[in-house]
């Protein structure tokens, strides 16, 4: 458990950087520090029938950094291992930025995704972007590690536009919070 403990520590420190996030975390009981394998956002199996969604047809968006490989408009981009919702990369944002005029949710569900370039496991924070209606582009859903609503912090069906000015869901990001295990 020592690896996990140090992960939890890192997470706690990181989370503490954001007051609003922390206060929300208090509500859910510190959920983000544990049991946070691969939760994701509102599933619509009706639209993304095949596991991982269908190719978006969008023009490829890469970071240009070989250490961060892949196309951010596609469901198989490495950071999206636990995402569920419309990809903000297809909506005016990016993998780590909300589209203009939306608000990034302060509370978030997180996943652990392996970066195929450097083979590190990264903690990815799937912050929702809120305040405009369903983006409608690039629906992507992967349920590995998802658990039912009984464990909200691991459930991808929840609209995490909580603590935002508007609860309307627009799209989901996949922000790098750090590596999963402290390498020191």
Partner 1 sequence: MRRAASRIAIAMTIAALHVAAPAIAADYPQPLPEEPVPAVAVLPEKYPESWVFVHDLHFNSLPDGRVAVVDVAAENRNVKGQIPAAQFGNVLPATTRPEILVGETFFSRLTRGERTDVITIWDAKTLSPKGEIVLPGGKRGLFVTLKNSLQFTNNEKWALVFNFTPGSSVTVVDLDARKVLSDIDLPGCSLVYPTGPRGFTSLCADGTMTSIALDAAGRAGPTVTSKVFNDIDKDALFMSPAMVGRTAWFASFTGNIRGIDFSGAAARDLGMFEIAKPAGGDPEWRPGGWQVITADKAGLLYVLMNPHGKEGSHKDGGTEAWVIDPVKKALVRRIALKNHSVSIEATQQASPLLVASKPDGSLDVYDAATGAFQRTIVGVVHDPMTMTAAR
Closer to partner 1 by Cβ: residue 7 or 80: 7
Q: State yes or no: residue 177 binds partner 1 (CB under 8 A).
A: yes
Site string for partner 1, 15-34 (x = CB under 8 A): ---x-----x--xxxxx-xx
Length of the chain: 184
Q: Phi-psi category of 90—alpha, beta or left, where left has phi over 0 and alpha has psi -120 to 50? A: alpha
Candidate residues 11, 70, 77, 169; the one interacting with partner 1 per rule CB under 8 A: 169
**Distance in angstroms (rounded) separating the CA atoms of residues 51 and 2:** 34
Half-sphere exposure of 91 (CA within 13 A, CB side): 28
Instruction: Answer yes or no whether residue 13 interacts with partner 1 by CB under 8 A.
Output: no
184 binds partner 1 per the rule CB under 8 A: no
Q: Which of residues 33-52 bind partner 1 (CB under 8 A)?
A: 33-38, 42-47, 49, 51
Are β-strands 139-141 and 128-130 bridged in parallel, bridged antiparallel, or unpaired? unpaired
The whole-angstrom separation of Cα 181 and Cα 175 is 17
Which residues are marked as active site?
Answer: 109, 128
Quote the CA–CA distance of 20 and 22 in Å, as a whole number. Answer: 5
How many residues touch partner 1 under the rule CB under 8 A: the total is 111
Q: How far is the CB of 175 from partner 1 (least distance, A)?
A: 5
Instruction: Say how far apart CA 63 and CA 45 lie, in whole Å.
Output: 29
- 57-76 positions binding partner 1, by CB under 8 A: 57-61, 65, 67-68, 73
Q: Which of residues 148-167 bind partner 1 (CB under 8 A)?
A: 148-155, 157-159, 161-162, 165-167
- Which x/- pattern over 94-133 shows residues binding partner 1 (rule: CB under 8 A)? x-xxxxxxxxx-xxx---x-xx-xxxxxx--x-x-x-xxx
CB 134, min distance to partner 1, A: 5
CB of 138 to partner 1, least distance (A): 7
């Amino acid at each position: 458990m020592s690896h996990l403990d140090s992960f939890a520590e890192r997470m706690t420190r990181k989370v503490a950087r954001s007051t609003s996030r922390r206060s929300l975390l208090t509500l859910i009981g510190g959920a983000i520090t544990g049991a946070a394998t691969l939760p994701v956002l509102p599933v619509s199996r009706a639209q993304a029938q095949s596991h991982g969604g269908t190719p978006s047809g969008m023009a490829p968006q890469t970071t240009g950094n070989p250490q961060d490989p892949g196309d951010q408009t596609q469901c198989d981009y490495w950071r999206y291992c636990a995402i569920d919702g419309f990809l903000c990369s297809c909506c005016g944002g990016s993998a780590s930025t909300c589209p203009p005029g939306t608000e990034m949710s302060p509370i978030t569900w997180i996943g652990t995704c392996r970066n195929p370039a450097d083979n590190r496991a990264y903690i990815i924070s799937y912050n929702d972007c809120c305040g405009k209606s369903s983006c409608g582009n690039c629906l992507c859903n992967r349920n590995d590690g998802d658990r039912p609503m009984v464990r909200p912090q691991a459930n991808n069906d929840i609209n995490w536009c909580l603590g935002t000015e508007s609860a309307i869901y627009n799209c989901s990001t996949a922000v790098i919070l750090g590596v999963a295990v402290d390498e020191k």
